[in-house]
Amino acid sequence: MHSYIFDAIFAGIHICFSGFFAAYGKSSIGFAHNVLAVALIRVPGAWLLSNAYSDTLFPMGIASPCGSILSAVICVVAFTMLNRRGAFDKPMA
């Protein structure tokens, strides 16, 4: 639980972005960042760290916040790129 607590900080960021993207009809970004985080960080990271440190769960718990950090970074980059292109200029009803 000690390492998993940090996930709440970054999960709040990417969950808010997912809702924002969905409101603007870009829910595929929310799907993509979640799939990438699970496939690239959460599952392989938890598996590798559980094998490397079998005596404690702390390192395995780090995989979840790392996946959320990747999701938050993807969301910030996507938001910045779309905002520069004017994708959010027109308010949605």
pLDDT digits (tens, 9 = 90+) for 4-61: 788 888 999 999 999 999 999 999 999 999 999 999 999 999 999 889 888 888 888 8
pLDDT value, residue 21: 94
Residue 70, pLDDT score? 96
Helices 27-37, 63-84: axis angle to 10 degrees equals: 150
Which residue type occupies 14? H
Rounded-to-10 torsion of CA 58, 9, 69, 65: 20
What pLDDT score does 91 carry? 75
pLDDT at 1: 66
Residue ranges per structural domain of the chain: 21-84
- What does the pLDDT read at residue 68? 94
* Gap between the Cα atoms of 42 and 30, Å rounded: 16
